[in-house]
Amino acid sequence: MEVKTNTTANWADPITVGDLHSKNRIMMAALTRCRCNPEDNIPTPLLTEYYGQRAGAGIILSEATPVSQRGEGFFGSACLYNEKHLEGWKLVTKAVHGKGGLIVVQLVHAGRATHPTINKGLEAYGPSPLRRREPIRGLNE
C-alpha cells in the first residue's frame, strides 16, 4: 500500500492512504463501546450518533467487530455477520460519510476470549482447546 505524503505536512493536511483520500491526517483509534443490545448486537442509533460525532477525524477505525456469533468477545458489541448487522453498519457509515468522514471496520474473532455465555451457548471455534483464564466483566459465574 502506497502512502502519499511529504515531510512538511501537518495534521490538518489531506492524505491518501491506498484508495482512501482523507481530508486530514487524524486517525481515530478503535474503542469498543458495547452500545448494542446483547440479544442481537445490531448497531444502534446511539452507536450511529457516536461515530457521526467523530466524523471530523480523517479516518475512523471502528471498534472490534465480530464476524461470527462464535467469535463475540464482549456483551453488546456491534457485530457484522448477518443482514441486520449489515443494515445497522450502513446507517453508521452513512452518518460518518454524511459529515465528510471515513470509517473502516475492524473485523475480529475473539478467539479464546469468547465464552458460551456471550455467544448464546455456542462453543468458540479456534486453534486451541484452552479456555480463557480471566473472568468476564459483567458475568456472574
19-74 per-position pLDDT tens digit: 999 999 999 998 888 899 989 999 999 999 999 999 999 999 999 999 999 999 88
How many domains does one find in the chain?
A: 1
Q: Is residue 136 part of a domain?
A: no
Q: How many residues does the chain have?
A: 141
- The pLDDT tens digits of the residues spanning 71-121 come to 998 889 999 999 999 999 999 999 999 999 999 999 999 887 787 888 888
What does the buried/exposed string (b/e) look like for 108-132 if buried means 16 or more CB atoms within 10 Å of the residue's CB? bbbeebbbeebbeeeebebeeeeee
| Residue 140, C-alpha cell as written in the block | 456472574
Does residue 6 carry a pLDDT above 70? no
50 lies in some domain:
yes
Per the structure block, which three cell numbers stand in for 43?
448497531
Q: Are 23 and 66 in contact (CB under 8 A)?
A: no
Average pLDDT in the chain? 87
pLDDT at 73: 86
CATH code (residue 49): 3.30.750
Confidence of residue 137 (pLDDT cuts 50, 70, 90): low
User: Quick one: pLDDT at residue 77?
Assistant: 92
Is residue 31 included in any domain, yes or no? Answer: yes
Write down the pLDDT at residue 41: 95
Residue 63 covered by a domain: yes
Q: With 80 as the cut, is the pLDDT of residue 135 above it?
A: no
Domain range for 61 is 15-113
